[in-house]
């Protein structure tokens, strides 16, 4: 049997459907669904899809089509001709088609489309007669010639024109010249004679520049276009888009050949783009734009300002234009009805393309619409409330990166109120951003390399700009609406973006922009508010935007309903702890004792710590430790109290001591004085602490073993703090964590101290017992290897994946900057192993640690406290190996809640992990941490 390469759709039937997106591409699969599904049967112009398999074969065979294709295309074309009662290439009643690309994942504007294919000198009169408009036929013809020359004859042929010499630009300037000579304002003013002139000029220029005639033959046009779509899969901009979005090269694109619906036959026709909900903020309102007497690209290209489809879609830029709801009442009703049917059917917001031909509506595309983070969250929450989707689906609808957008800063509203609004446009991408103005994508890329923050300012963007758009903090354009290229791309990335600032003049060659008489140049700082669509001169301060975001908290509650793994936070300061609790942290997974010696209010404890470090004898040291003790205890007590009965993991002093040695003379002097030693003696002791490789030196439990009194002081502080809280009737769950353990004997050594101090504390406070856990970090490879042994002495494990990665690879965390970029660029490593767990290597150690540990203690509590605890991919891994919790920085807590919920949904076979519930003291986070 011959392989099926071609799938027909149209006339309320279809050979494909929405589930066949891998084979038919997203566009083809949805055209089939819209045309053929019994709940839809929408007016879709008939056509057929050539599969992505053909694309892959085409490349495999050195850019040759499989031989069976021709017959299958001809047969499908016959069916289309039957449905349309027209014939491809027929001079009397010609069928025209579009040839459209369509990959599995949407790649807006990245690949090529050709409209009006099949129009020639011979078929043109027939088309004119059928529509009673010669002007229309010539307009369609000139569009075909321009598109074909650009897409097929130049790009697909691999010709790389010099800057400013591309054929499309040359033909456009001929068009501008003719318009100018005749004092026309818009393409709509072109008369038949002008179009004829244009066509002749176009053809001559094409011959001249490309050395070939425009093929005035339907079949040649069709196959040329099909091939061009395949070639566009490997066009420069498509490749760079794929790289950014992580789309595999092997997917290939399908080709859709579809009978034309004409939006350019006159004032009863038009074309538009709409979203079933607002993709900018998530409002459940129909949102879109259209243009009368226009074809395809016109709306997106931003050459004419599109009109709003309804009142809701109006903005200051287009409110003078007629809305679709009034321009054609019948069509608007019909499309509104389609809007709700599509949402019910797909159960998601849809991005649609439509064309009206002489008052008749045609649907040309639908797909799940790209949306920014705030919109994604709102839609997910709303759709659950509307009972359109389940909470599980809602959780899967928001990508961690989209949630991240909501956690990003916004402009401080107090400062913003005082600032002067330089310009206004449409709010196309949320949040605030500041940067230095650049006018080309190339500059944005280069400036980024030298560490600068830029805002890319363009008249309008096009697919060639994507890399620069990526490199900039935000994008600002003078033209285009909410469906323009810039808005579409920014929305996909959740990047701050303002489009259609029409009062702004952009002069790329002079590197300036002018608004209302004010001129700004390259390198000047501006600040954008992409939520409002405004921009300001200079750098405005940014603040946290999460405070009153009800949708965010509603959404996170949905996540909690499906999540089984706990989320803790790494917090060392009261502010961190407070923020993390607000974001839903269920405990502290890592409290670093040493942090009380850095930053605010640290002078006193730091001084005492230094005294301790510089002590020579145990006696001296104990004096210093006694002075330090009250600081450590009150710090820990405040934090545990604030955590309201949730567990708090306190890691004993970890960094090498020399890190704390003072470097300035003043500090050295007072330290020497307080110790009653000379400056020379102090220097000698400091030199004694020097290590060649401190990362692998005298640190972690090694400190506690050489100076047991240091461990003792900390443990006493923790346990006394806990005992006092218990006495006050409060619930606490302290977890004492020993760092940098590689052998169980190290742990046992420390455990003996803990056991002894615990007994002493019980006695002192007259308590029979109180709860605490004793455990260790697994961060030295040997600890993972001997986890079974270690589990005999530990009640919990916490994977310190920063050090574990460092020691597994032998990469110094502090020096990796010197070579990592080369490793990533040369694909020696797929990603930075300090950002995302190296599952193949470090991951094995983690799995081994979990398995061996639990083989001794089946209920051993296991978590992670490295940076990886906030990385969505790593969180999935942690879930799969069976961790009880992940711990991450406060701002990552919401993302961890989402990622952990998604991990649970994606791995339904996994049983629920044992959880650590708060042991009492319910209610909200009212008590504040004691400030240091
Ligand atoms: P893209 O993937 O870049 O959106 P499309 O294949 O959707 O490319 O086509 C580009 C433009 O041409 C769109 O506006 C689309 O609606 C329009 N178009 C495509 N096919 C037809 C057709 N058969 N009739 C009318 N307009 C069409
Ligand atoms: Mg499209
Ligand atoms: Mg460590």
Segment 124-139, tens digit of pLDDT: 999 999 999 999 999 9
Residue in 30, 43, 100, 148 to alter for ligand 1 test, most ligand atoms within 8 A of Cβ:
100
Of the listed ligands, the closest to the CA of 701 is: 3
d(CA 48, CA 475): 38
Residue nearest to atom 9 of ligand 1 (CA): 113
Which residue ranges have their beta carbon within 6 Å of ligand 1?
Answer: 45, 98, 100, 109, 113, 115, 258, 260-261, 296-297, 353, 355, 364-365
CB 373 within 8 A of CB 405: yes
CB 644 within 8 A of CB 704: no
Q: Ligand 1 centroid vs 276 CA: distance in angstroms? A: 18
The pLDDT value given to residue 928:
29
Residue in 27, 46, 296 to alter for ligand 1 test, most ligand atoms within 8 A of Cβ:
296
CA 729 to each of CA 546, 724, 877, 920, 921: distance values in angstroms, whole numbers, following the listed order: 34, 9, 39, 10, 9
The model's pTM is: 0.82
Instruction: Give the list of residues 6+ apart from residue 692 with CB closer than 8 angstroms, or none.
Output: none
Of the listed ligands, the closest to the CA of 97 is: 1
CA dihedral 685, 747, 779, 910 (to 10 degrees): -160
Residue by residue, DSSP assigns 65-100 as --TTHHHHHHHHHHHHHHHHT-EET-SSSEE-EEEE
Q: Atom of ligand 1 at shortest distance to CA of 261?
A: 24
Q: Ligand 1 centroid vs 100 CA: distance in angstroms? A: 7
CB 855 within 8 A of CB 790: no
Q: Atom of ligand 1 at shortest distance to CA of 45?
A: 23
Q: Ligand 2 centroid vs 530 CA: distance in angstroms? A: 25
Angle, CA of 627, 630 and 633, to the nearest 5°: 140
Q: Ligand 2 centroid vs 365 CA: distance in angstroms? A: 6
Helix (H, G, I), strand (E, B) or coil at 753: helix
Residue in 115, 232, 272, 487 to alter for ligand 1 test, most ligand atoms within 8 A of Cβ:
115
Helix segments in 19-68, DSSP class H: 21-36, 52-60
Scanning the structure block, which residue is given the tokens 């489309």? 113
Residue nearest to atom 13 of ligand 1 (CA): 296
CA 740 to each of CA 668, 794, 838, 853: distance values in angstroms, whole numbers, following the listed order: 30, 14, 20, 17
N- to C-terminal Cα separation, the chain:
79
Residue nearest to atom 23 of ligand 1 (CA): 260
Q: Ligand 1 centroid vs 421 CA: distance in angstroms? A: 37
d(CA 757, CA 774): 13
d(CA 23, CA 4): 11
Q: What is the rounded average pLDDT for all residues in the chain?
A: 91
Residue nearest to atom 20 of ligand 1 (CA): 98
CB 904 within 8 A of CB 562: yes
The dihedral through the CA atoms of 823, 829, 834, 835 has a sign that is positive
Q: Ligand 2 centroid vs 423 CA: distance in angstroms? A: 30
Q: Are strands 410-411 and 525-529 parallel, antiparallel or unpaired?
A: unpaired
CB 377 within 8 A of CB 359: no
Q: Atom of ligand 1 at shortest distance to CA of 100?
A: 6
The pLDDT value given to residue 910:
65
Distance of CA 711 to the CA centre of its chain: 44
Q: Ligand 2 centroid vs 286 CA: distance in angstroms? A: 18
Helix (H, G, I), strand (E, B) or coil at 885: strand
Segment 258-297, tens digit of pLDDT: 999 999 999 999 999 999 999 988 999 999 999 999 998 7
Of the listed ligands, the closest to the CA of 49 is: 1
Q: Which helix (H) or strand (E) holds 338?
A: helix 329-346
d(CA 141, CA 133): 13
Q: Atom of ligand 1 at shortest distance to CA of 101?
A: 6
Residue nearest to atom 12 of ligand 1 (CA): 296
Of the listed ligands, the closest to the CA of 109 is: 1
* Of 328, 359, 341, the residue nearest 286 (C-alpha): 341
The pLDDT value given to residue 651:
97
Ligand 2 is an ion; its neighbours by CB within 5 Å are: 365
Residue in 80, 113, 136, 143 to alter for ligand 1 test, most ligand atoms within 8 A of Cβ:
113
Q: Are strands 97-103 and 113-117 parallel, antiparallel or unpaired?
A: antiparallel
Residue by residue, DSSP assigns 203-233 as HHHHHHHHSS-----HHHHHHHHHHHHHHHH
d(CA 628, CA 631): 6
Segment 562-575, tens digit of pLDDT: 999 999 999 887 77
CB neighbour class for 358 (10 Å; exposed up to 12, middle 13-18, buried from 19): middle
Scanning the structure block, which residue is given the tokens 């005992």? 723
CB 119 within 8 A of CB 144: yes
The pLDDT value given to residue 824:
84
Q: Ligand 3 centroid vs 841 CA: distance in angstroms? A: 18
The pLDDT value given to residue 922:
36
Residue nearest to atom 6 of ligand 1 (CA): 100
Quick one: what percent of the chain has pLDDT higher than 70?
A: 97
d(CA 480, CA 484): 5
Residue nearest to atom 14 of ligand 1 (CA): 296
Residue in 25, 365, 369, 485 to alter for ligand 1 test, most ligand atoms within 8 A of Cβ:
365
Q: Ligand 2 centroid vs 362 CA: distance in angstroms? A: 14
Residue nearest to atom 16 of ligand 1 (CA): 296
Q: Atom of ligand 1 at shortest distance to CA of 107?
A: 2
Residues marked as catalytic: 485, 865
Segment 679-704, tens digit of pLDDT: 899 889 888 888 888 889 999 999 99
Scanning the structure block, which residue is given the tokens 């109120």? 417
Residue in 96, 353, 369 to alter for ligand 1 test, most ligand atoms within 8 A of Cβ:
353
Residue nearest to atom 11 of ligand 1 (CA): 296
Q: Ligand 3 centroid vs 131 CA: distance in angstroms? A: 76
Instruction: Give the list of residues 6+ apart from residue 646 with CB closer than 8 angstroms, or none.
Output: 568, 585, 586, 587, 588, 733, 916, 918
In this structure, what are the phi and psi dihedrals at residue 533, rounded to the nearest 5 degrees? Answer: 90, 30
Reported residue count of the chain is 932
Q: Ligand 3 centroid vs 779 CA: distance in angstroms? A: 6
Query: 10-residue block means of pLDDT along the chain (932 residues)?
Result: 94 96 97 97 98 96 95 98 97 97 84 92 96 95 96 91 91 94 88 96 96 96 96 87 87 96 94 95 95 85 84 87 95 98 97 96 95 93 97 97 85 87 86 95 94 94 86 92 79 83 92 93 95 92 83 96 96 80 94 80 85 88 92 91 92 88 85 88 88 90 94 97 96 97 98 98 96 97 98 98 94 80 86 92 98 97 93 97 95 94 90 42 32 28
Q: Ligand 3 centroid vs 695 CA: distance in angstroms? A: 9
Give the tokens for residue 680.
């020379």
In the sheet with 287-292, reading across from the earlier edge strand, the strands are 307-308, 287-292, 270-275, 350-357, 360-368
């Amino acid at each position: 049997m011959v392989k099926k390469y071609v799938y027909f759709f149209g006339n309320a039937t279809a050979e494909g459907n929405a589930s066949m997106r891998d084979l038919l591409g997203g566009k083809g699969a949805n055209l089939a669904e819209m045309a053929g599904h019994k709940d839809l049967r929408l007016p879709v112009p008939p056509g057929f899809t050539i599969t992505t398999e053909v694309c892959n074969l085409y490349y495999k065979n050195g850019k040759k089509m499989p031989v069976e294709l021709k017959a299958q295309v001809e047969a499908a074309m016959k069916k289309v001709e039957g449905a349309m009662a027209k014939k491809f290439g027929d001079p009397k009643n010609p069928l025209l088609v579009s040839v459209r690309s369509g990959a599995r994942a949407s790649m807006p504007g990245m690949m090529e489309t050709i409209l009006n294919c099949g129009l020639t000198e011979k078929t043109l009169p027939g088309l004119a007669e059928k529509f009673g408009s010669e002007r229309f036929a010539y307009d369609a013809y000139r569009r075909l010639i321009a598109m074909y020359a650009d897409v097929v004859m130049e790009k697909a042929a691999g010709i790389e024109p010099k800057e400013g010499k591309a054929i499309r630009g040359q033909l456009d300037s001929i068009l501008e010249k003719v318009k100018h000579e005749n004092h026309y304002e818009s393409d709509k003013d072109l008369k038949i004679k002008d179009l004829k002139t244009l066509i002749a000029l176009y053809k001559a220029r094409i011959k001249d520049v490309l050395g070939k005639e425009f093929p005035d033959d339907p079949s040649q046009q069709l196959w040329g276009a099909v091939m061009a779509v395949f070639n566009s899969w490997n066009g420069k901009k498509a490749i760079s888009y794929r790289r950014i979005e992580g789309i595999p090269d092997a997917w290939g694109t399908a080709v859709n050949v579809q009978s034309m619906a004409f939006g350019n036959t006159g004032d009863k026709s038009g074309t538009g783009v709409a979203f079933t909900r607002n993709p900018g903020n998530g409002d459940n309102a129909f949102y879109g734009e259209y243009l009368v007497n226009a074809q395809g690209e016109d709306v997106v290209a931003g050459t004419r300002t599109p009109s709003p489809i309804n009142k809701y879609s109006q903005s200051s830029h287009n409110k003078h234009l007629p809305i679709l709801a009034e321009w054609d009442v019948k069509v608007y009703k019909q499309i509104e009805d389609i809007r709700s049917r599509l949402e019910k059917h797909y159960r998601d917001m849809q991005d649609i393309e439509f064309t009206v031909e002489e008052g008749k509506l045609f649907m040309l595309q639908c797909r799940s619409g790209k949306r920014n983070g705030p919109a994604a969250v709102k839609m997910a929450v709303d759709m659950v409330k509307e009972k359109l989707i389940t909470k599980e689906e809602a959780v899967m609808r928001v990508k961690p990166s989209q949630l991240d957008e909501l956690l990003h800063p916004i402009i401080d509203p107090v400062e913003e109120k005082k600032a002067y609004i330089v310009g206004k446009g449409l709010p196309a991408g949320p949040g605030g951003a500041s940067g230095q103005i650049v006018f080309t994508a190339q500059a944005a890329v280069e400036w980024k390399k030298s560490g600068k923050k830029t805002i890319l300012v363009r008249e309008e963007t096009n697919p060639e700009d994507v890399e620069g758009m990526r490199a900039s903090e935000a994008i600002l354009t003078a033209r285009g609406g909410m469906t323009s290229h810039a808005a579409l791309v920014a929305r996909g990335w959740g990047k701050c973006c303002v489009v259609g600032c029409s009062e702004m003049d952009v002069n790329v060659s002079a590197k300036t922009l002018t608004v209302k008489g004010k001129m700004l140049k390259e390198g000047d700082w501006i600040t954008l508010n992409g939520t409002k669509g405004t921009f300001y001169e200079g750098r405005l301060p940014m603040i946290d935007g999460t405070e009153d975001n009800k949708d965010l908290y509603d959404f996170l509650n949905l996540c909690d309903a499906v999540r089984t793994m706990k989320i803790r936070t790494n917090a060392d300061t009261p502010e961190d702890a407070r923020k993390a609790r607000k974001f839903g942290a269920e405990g502290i997974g890592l409290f670093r004792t040493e942090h009380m010696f850095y930053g605010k209010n640290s002078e006193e404890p730091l001084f005492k710590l230094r005294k301790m470090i510089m002590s020579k004898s145990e006696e001296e040291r104990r004096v210093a430790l006694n002075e330090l003790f009250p600081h450590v205890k009150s710090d820990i007590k405040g934090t545990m109290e604030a955590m309201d009965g949730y567990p708090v993991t306190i890691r004993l002093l970890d960094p090498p001591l020399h890190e704390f040695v003072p470097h300035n003379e003043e500090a050295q002097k007072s330290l020497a004085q307080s110790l009653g030693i000379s400056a020379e003696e102090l220097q000698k002791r400091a030199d004694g602490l020097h290590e060649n490789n401190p990362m692998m030196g005298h640190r972690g439990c090694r400190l506690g073993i050489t100076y047991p009194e240091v461990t003792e002081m900390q443990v006493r502080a923790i346990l006394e703090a806990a005992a006092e809280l218990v006495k006050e009737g409060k619930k606490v769950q302290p977890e004492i964590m020993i760092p940098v353990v590689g052998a169980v004997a190290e742990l046992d050594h420390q455990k003996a101290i803990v056991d002894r101090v615990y007994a002493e504390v019980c006695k002192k406070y007259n308590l029979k017992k109180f709860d605490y856990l004793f455990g260790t970090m697994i961060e030295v490879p040997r600890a993972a290897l001997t986890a079974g042994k270690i589990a005999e002495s530990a009640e919990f494990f916490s994977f310190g994946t920063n050090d574990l990665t460092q020691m597994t690879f032998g990469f110094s965390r502090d020096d990796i900057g010197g070579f990592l970029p080369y490793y990533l660029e040369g694909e020696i490593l797929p990603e930075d192993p300090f950002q995302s767990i190296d599952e193949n290597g470090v991951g094995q150690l983690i799995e081994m640690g979990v398995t061996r540990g639990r083989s001794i203690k089946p209920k051993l509590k296991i978590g992670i406290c490295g940076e990886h605890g906030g990385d969505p991919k790593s969180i999935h891994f942690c879930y799969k190996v069976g961790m009880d919790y992940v711990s991450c920085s406060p701002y990552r807590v919401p993302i961890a809640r989402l990622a952990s919920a998604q991990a649970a949904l994606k791995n339904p076979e996994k049983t629920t992990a044992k959880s650590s519930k708060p042991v009492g003291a319910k209610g909200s986070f009212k008590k504040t941490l004691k400030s240091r």
